[in-house]
């Protein structure tokens, strides 16, 4: 894929009114989710669930791409078409999570670093042959009294930059995701400082690794107080702080930013995105790459009767995708939730 093609794919991922669906939960994570809704987690039940999501009528109206797990990229729908074929027919770009999860950062108790660089070049070649057009790598930054350390931030942003360079070498657009977790009792100002420091480190590392920003998408955290903070922030405060942080640390050359929901409620994730776009214009399109905030209501409906509730669950998926697509345009209103 040429430089121009990388730029074209990146721009398509943040097309007006569209965002990215994250269905890249590891087998361990989706087992927990299925257990919560009383569904046995098997290879076939995972395939059936993700088939429900990917065959949602009109999915491509508001979803530009979907991040898959390795298993899902290799699976097929009931009609024999690969999921990649299903997605392409719907106008949805196939993506793939390529990191191998987090491990303890040696010398820094309680802090994590993401692994998966070993052998990544060869894995990326295979993913290209399977039809992937973009990838995702997630780093995890935890806030507490003693963290994050500068070593944790730098270790993770260096890995993100190396991953991004390898992706572009293989002709794949990298989504770089430095997630600042909501866990903790820190206030919104602390989250701002940590998020800004992480983003500045990330773009410094990508510059050093010759990553082409025009062919890269950032999956960013919103600037939020910790979920145990006594003083929670309003929608407007979150939107203002997040925009201020991004404008301080993110170069204008980036083609777009998609936000993770990070444990927010469906409605809050949508409202925060909408408020940011209403406060614009920004140097980049601001859109979404939600997992739970696009899936959880539909998953509950599907799990109640997987054989009979597919259409109803898909209606929920389509509605949440539409609401977030409206938020990406700054045209969402809370009253739309009733629809």
Instruction: Establish whether 219 is a catalytic residue.
Output: yes
Contacts of 73 (CB under 8 A, 6+ apart): 83, 84, 94, 96, 127, 130, 131, 132
The active-site residue out of 18, 97, 136, 219 is 219
Cβ–Cβ < 8 Å for 319, 58:
no
What 3-state class would DSSP assign to 63?
Answer: strand
Give CA–CA dist 287/319, Å, rounded.
16
Contacts of 129 (CB under 8 A, 6+ apart): none
What 3-state class would DSSP assign to 158?
Answer: helix
Instruction: Establish whether 177 is a catalytic residue.
Output: yes
Give CA–CA dist 286/220, Å, rounded.
10
Cβ–Cβ < 8 Å for 262, 182:
yes
The active-site residue out of 7, 154, 177, 196 is 177
Residue with tokens 């990070």: 262
The structure tokens listed for 152 are 């944790």
Question: Which of the residues are catalytic?
Answer: 177, 219
């Amino acid at each position: 894929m040429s430089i121009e093609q990388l730029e074209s794919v990146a721009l398509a991922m943040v097309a007006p009114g569209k965002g990215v669906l994250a269905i890249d939960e590891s087998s361990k994570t989706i087992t927990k989710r299925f257990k919560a809704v009383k569904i046995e987690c098997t290879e076939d039940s995972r395939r059936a669930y993700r088939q429900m999501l990917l065959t949602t009528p009109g999915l491509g109206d508001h979803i530009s791409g979907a991040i898959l797990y390795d298993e899902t990229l290799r699976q097929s729908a009931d009609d024999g078409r690969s999921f990649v074929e299903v997605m392409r027919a719907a106008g949805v770009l196939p993506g793939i999570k390529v990191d191998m999860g987090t491990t303890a950062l040696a010398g820094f108790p309680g802090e994590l670093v993401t692994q998966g660089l070993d052998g990544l070049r060869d894995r990326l070649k295979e993913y290209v042959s399977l039809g992937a057009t973009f990838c995702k790598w997630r780093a995890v930054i935890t806030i507490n009294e003693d963290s994050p350390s500068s070593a944790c931030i730098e270790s993770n942003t260096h890995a993100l930059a190396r991953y991004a360079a390898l992706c572009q070498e293989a002709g794949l657009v990298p989504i770089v995701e430095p997630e600042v977790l909501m866990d903790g009792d820190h206030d919104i100002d602390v989250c701002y400082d940590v998020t800004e420091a992480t983003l500045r480190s990330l773009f410094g590392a990508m510059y050093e690794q010759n990553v082409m920003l025009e062919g890269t998408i950032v999956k960013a955290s919103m600037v939020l107080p910790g979920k145990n903070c006594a003083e929670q922030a309003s929608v407007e405060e979150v939107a203002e702080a997040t925009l201020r942080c991004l404008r301080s640390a993110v170069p204008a050359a980036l083609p777009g930013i998609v936000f993770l929901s990070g444990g927010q409620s469906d409605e809050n994730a949508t409202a925060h995105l909408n408020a940011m776009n209403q406060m614009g214009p920004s140097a980049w399109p601001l859109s979404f790459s939600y997992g739970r905030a696009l899936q959880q209501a539909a998953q509950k409906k599907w799990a109640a009767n997987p054989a009979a509730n597919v259409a109803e669950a898909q209606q929920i998926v389509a509605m949440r995708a539409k609401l977030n697509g409206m938020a990406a345009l700054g045209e969402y209103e809370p009253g739309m939730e009733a629809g």
